[in-house]
Amino acid sequence: EKEKEKEKEKEKEEEEKEEDQSQVDKAKMDDFILTLQTCQSRDLIDKAAVDFCELNTKLNRRRLARGLFAVPRTQLSLLPYYARLCAVLAPAMPDLPEMLAGMLEKEFADFMRYKSESNLETKVRNVRFQGELLKFKLTKPLAVFTCLQSCIDDFAYQNIELACNLLEVCGRFLHRSKLTHERTKNMLSTMLRLKSVKNLDSRLDTMLENAYYLCCPPERSARSVRKVRSAVQEYVRHLLFVRLSKQTLETVKKQLRKLDWKEHEGYIIKCLLKIHKCKYNQVYLFASLISGLNRYHNNLAIHLADDLLSEMRHLLHANEFSKQQRLLSLAKLLGELYNDLVVDSVVIFDALYTLLSSGTDKTGPMPDPPGDLFRVRVVCTLLDTCGHYFDRGTSKKRLDLFLAHLQRYLLLKEHLSMDVEFTISDTLEALRPDHKRLQTVEAAEA
């Protein structure tokens, strides 16, 4: 009773001092507390801490503590920033976090004493605020453990939600700290035992599991080990994927020629086919590089073209969405190789017909499902790259036949999306501007 009387006397003295404070200072402090509700970033709250230093008095610190304590219960997103404000000011004003922590502890003790089923949002705000202060080491872990133990002692309904909210905020911090690890671990195991014994509804059950795994996340599988490559292999990758540009093309070619081709030819071809690792507008540089190297290594073009076509057939057969960009890049490279006279037109037309006739794992002998239009994009990519060279002689006749075959393929599709329709129109207009599109399957087969 004597302590209560002393507290009342102190409060009266504080009120008398506040009354003596000038109206201008009060207005400035009130405006400052109102602006705190808009400080939802680190920069803004740090600036607010600097601004408060100009208003720093014992009365204003007490008013600030009360203002922080009275944070709206629906604006929980402010709590981390308010705790940061206290942490920034704490070295110069240690009484500020002490007053705030004392208010929160007293309020929580009142909640536990009266055990009211109302004001859940206010209780949640209280425990989350204490958790945020703990992470900035502005309050002692004992205070948080006291709150958590009080919830465990009466493990039902609102207390379960309060315990879960407290663990969500600072549970992992407590579990990872050396001084509090064991006690946190014991409390978590106690909560799991109570959860298994009590017949809780699914919502509370899920909240407890989430809180537990936030504190003790399950072990993840080890990351894939990085491939071990020799120094020469790393150098080849550096030349192709980093150094290669329009200005350094000749330099890269000279450096690759210096390597032992009997030993490293296979790896160089493998890297050249990883065309999807470079920028799309640099594919022509790979083709120019291959053309330049082919003058000194006659078997390079044969081996590379064979591996490229084999890779394209494999990707068509697998029909995986994640590898579609790779297939587009290979088609672009094949067209650029024709432009640089590395492969002839026979290879190009064989690839075009393969794209529209090869089956997949899912469709069997059929090329692709009726609604799948990706192969059309690949064909258009290849034709846009090198099709303009098929404008005379037998290559022109072969392209006309293929374009009829392509239009027959399109007519058998259920529906063409708008972007595919535009892609087809652009390709046909570029290759055969005077020809009209065929409208029936019979006309395409004629």
Q: What is the mean pLDDT of residues 142-162?
A: 91
The pLDDT value recorded for residue 442 is 80
Closest CA to 162 of 206, 202, 116, 123: 123
pLDDT of residue 25: 80
Q: What are phi and psi of 43, to 5 degrees?
A: -65, -45
Three-class SS of residue 364? strand
pTM of the complete model: 0.53
Question: Are the beta carbons of 53 and 5 closer than 8 angstroms?
Answer: no
Q: Read off the pLDDT band of 223 (50, 70, 90).
A: low
pLDDT tens for 249-305 read 999 999 999 999 889 999 999 999 998 888 888 899 999 999 999 999 888 989 999
2 confidence band (pLDDT: 50, 70, 90): low
Show the tokens assigned to 368: 């692709």
Confidence category of residue 8, pLDDT binned at 50, 70, 90 = low
How far are the Cα atoms of 317, 318, 389 from residue 314, in angstroms, in the given order?
A: 5, 6, 28
pLDDT attached to residue 221: 61
Closest by CA to 191, choosing from 159, 230, 222, 220, is 159
Give yes or no for a contact between 282 and 323, defined as CB atoms under 8 angstroms apart.
Answer: no
Q: Write the CB contacts of 445 (distance below 8 Å, at least 6 apart in sequence).
A: 408
SS3 sequence of 11-69: HHHHHHHHHHCCHHHHHHHHHHHHHHHHCCCHHHHHHHHHHHHCCCCHHHHHHHHHHHH
List pLDDT tens digits, range 224-246. 667 888 999 999 999 999 999 99
